[in-house]
Structure 1
Amino acid sequence: MSEASSAARAPSDDGPLVDVRGLTFGYAATPVVEDVDLRVGRGEYVGIVGPNGSGKSTLLRLVLGLHEPDSGSAELLGHPARAFAERERIGYVAQDVTQNEKRMPITVSEVVLMGRFPHAGFGRVTAADRDRARDALETVGIGHLADRKITSLSGGQRQRAYIARALAGEAELLVLDEPTVGVDAESVDAFFDLLDGLVDDGLTVLLVEHDIGAVIEHTSRVVCLNREVYFDGEPTAFAESDALDRAYGTNVLREKGGIRT
């Protein structure tokens, strides 16, 4: 890495990857998130839970700099989120691919190779870039699907492909928005096992997830949100707290058997 590149990354070396302070945002006069603080350090595995319409996805978009907050601040890797330029350092997997991506006649390996584009000198993809993309596909367990069209994959397989793209791009932070929606239970278990392994290897993960049981079982920290933060701490303490009662207006774990909402 050049001295200039090292200097550009220096602000985030010792600080949190995500640093949100007093964040408030609303559509028209209605707040969607209000006075939210959230800091995510390197190597953390943070799950955000909350009822439908509680502002979870909006919070992720604010974290990523895709919305301008009404008040407060959001930083990514030590830089203002809205002005953050090194997007390859963040792997973002939305709830679903865009309509254009659904129509694109592109293979899985080509999707993953896109993660190397910011690293390719003069826009030229090298053999080393292709090797890294193949390694990423193997890491997420879909190397055998490399030549398949992305449109032919199941929801779970497609999510893995986009995670592989983030890994190929050497992302330091993986942000996932409802990654298991529409995915069968067996694939959900395998998906969370994959995330566990990536975190063990040093990746930082921030996800919004509707499966409260999976969040409690797999993550190292739970944030419960319903416009404001009702809880931020260890999963065991969350399960024993009244945060769900207050955020959802009911005891979700008791009524749903501690599995899904």
Structure 2
Amino acid sequence: MMIEVRGLSHRFGNSLILEDIDLQITRGEFVAIIGPNGAGKSTLIRLILGLLPVQSGSIRIDGEGHLDWLRHNPMGYLPQKEEFDRGFPASALDIVLMGLAAELPLGGRFTKSHRERAMAALETTSTAELASKRLGSLSGGQLQRVLLARALVSRSNYLILDEPEASVDRPGVQSFFALLHDLNKAGKTIITISHDLHTLSEHCSSLICLNRKLHCHSKTELVNAEIIRKTFGEAVKLIDKDY
């Protein structure tokens, strides 16, 4: 059971963003995608999620074409940035329930079962006490955990995150990745984009080094300084860990 990418290339206009990507992500992995800005990291996950059309190559999930798989399977997704009207009168529970909207018939309402699932997701992210809090009253770290609960509420075996640490302070980042680590140990396959190499080295089982081309997909401890420099360029400064 895996995500399998073969010969994947993608262009925006005349710009080649991804070139001939081959990789496999086995179910149960905790994988981080790293690379400089503009390397194609977000494009890769948006292709996997079916948010962009595949132009060249193929993506299969658990042996099935990814679009066919996605039609009848949820995939948890925490985007890089979401714009919210902080004055909008929605609670944290309302935000999590949005993750179940696809289950509603046209004109349908959320049931008691839906609300119980949403509360369970908030419990998982240690934000159940925020259920009735308005969106505008949440800190950046609290909002990120609520959005993670929304990604989890569908109970997908896969969770994809795009720079989840972007709006979280340093202690919050450590706590957030510890939570992801626990989710992975409980059986969830996690794919995250991140620039925090030190934190990734503590929690991820493998790294995908991407800069238009795939430079490396290997166990975290096998990714060394030379691979990192080839991915990011010679000017990269390595901190805290001898990669």
Task: Please confirm whether the aligned pair reaches a TM-score higher than 0.5, indicating the same fold.
Answer: yes
Q: CA shift at 1:29, angstroms?
A: 1.9
Q: Name which of structure 1's ranges 128-137 and 172-181 shifts more when overlaid on structure 2.
A: 128-137
Residue equivalent to 1:105: 89
Alignment of 1:28-43 (within 5 A): 28-43=13-28
Q: Whose helix proportion is higher, 1 or 2?
A: 1
CA RMSD of superposed structures (Å): 2.1
Residue equivalent to 1:75: 60
Selected match of 1:245 from 219, 229, 233: 229
Mapped partners of 1:33, 1:153: distance in 2: 37
Q: Structure 2 regions of 5+ residues with no counterpart? A: none
Residue equivalent to 1:257: 240
Q: CA shift at 1:192, angstroms?
A: 0.5
Aligned residues: 240
CA contact 2:87–2:135 (8 Å) conserved in 1: no
Residue equivalent to 2:190: 205
Would the alpha carbon gap of residues 68 and 102 (structure 1) be closer, same or farther in structure 2, given more than 3 Å must change? farther
Mapped partners of 2:140, 2:80: distance in 1: 10
Would the alpha carbon gap of residues 206 and 74 (structure 1) be closer, same or farther in structure 2, given more than 3 Å must change? same
Q: Percent identity?
A: 37
Q: CA shift at 1:103, angstroms?
A: 5.8
CA contact 1:120–1:126 (8 Å) conserved in 2: no
Q: Name which of structure 1's ranges 157-166 and 136-145 shifts more when overlaid on structure 2.
A: 157-166
Residue equivalent to 1:191: 176
Residue equivalent to 1:115: 99
Q: CA shift at 1:115, angstroms?
A: 2.5
Selected match of 1:125 from 86, 92, 110: 110
CA contact 2:7–2:58 (8 Å) conserved in 1: yes
1:62 has 2:59 as partner: no
TM-score, normalisation: structure 1? 0.84
Mapped partners of 2:164, 2:31: distance in 1: 14
Residue equivalent to 1:176: 161
Q: Deviations over 1:130-188 (max 9, x none)?
A: 12211110110111111112233222222211221122211211100000013110000
Q: CA shift at 1:253, angstroms?
A: 5.6
TM-score, normalisation: structure 2? 0.90
1:224 has 2:209 as partner: yes
Mapped partners of 1:258, 1:182: distance in 2: 23
Q: Structure 1 regions of 5+ residues with no counterpart? A: 1-14
Would the alpha carbon gap of residues 98 and 81 (structure 1) be closer, same or farther in structure 2, given more than 3 Å must change? farther
CA contact 1:118–1:169 (8 Å) conserved in 2: no
Q: Which letter does structure 2 place at the counterpart of 1:169?
A: S
Q: Deviations over 1:39-82 (max 9, x none)?
A: 22221110000011111111111111111233101233443334
Q: CA shift at 1:250, angstroms?
A: 2.4
